[in-house]
Amino acid sequence: MNKYFLLMLLAELIASSSQIFLKMSSKKSYPSVIREYLNCLVIGGYSLLMVSMVITVFAYQKDKLGYMGTVVMEPISYVFVMILSRIVFKEKISARKIAGMSLIICGIAVFFLNK
């Protein structure tokens, strides 16, 4: 397996984790607008998003994963967010969500198996 493929999976997992931090922050109430935007969860979430962006840009470089490979990998974050939401927030996973996530995974597999 291509090490840049794994690197892109890591970047998407980090980005998905940042979304979870931001959602955790949005569920809390804060005494002021400044505290709403300047708290550990928001700063941590955006910091993780920045780390994910740097890893993704590295994977975009020529002769690594390639532009199309990274673009095809982006939707895997939907799968990660769904799994992390289930773990952290105990959100329900419906049959329609599973069907949608299966289509995303199948599309990624078709792209990389035909490459």
- The domain locations on the chain are 3-113
Please state, in angstroms and rounded to a whole number, the distance separating the CA atoms of residues 37 and 52: 20
Mean pLDDT of 70-82: 92
Among residues 51, 66, 48, which one has the least CA distance to residue 4? Answer: 66
Is the pLDDT at 26 greater than 70? The verdict is yes
pTM of the model: 0.89
Is the pLDDT at 63 greater than 70? The verdict is no
Mean pLDDT of 35-52: 96
> Which of 4-18, 64-78, 85-99 is predicted with the least confidence, judged by mean pLDDT?
64-78
- Average pLDDT for the chain: 91
The predicted structure's pLDDT at residue 48? 98
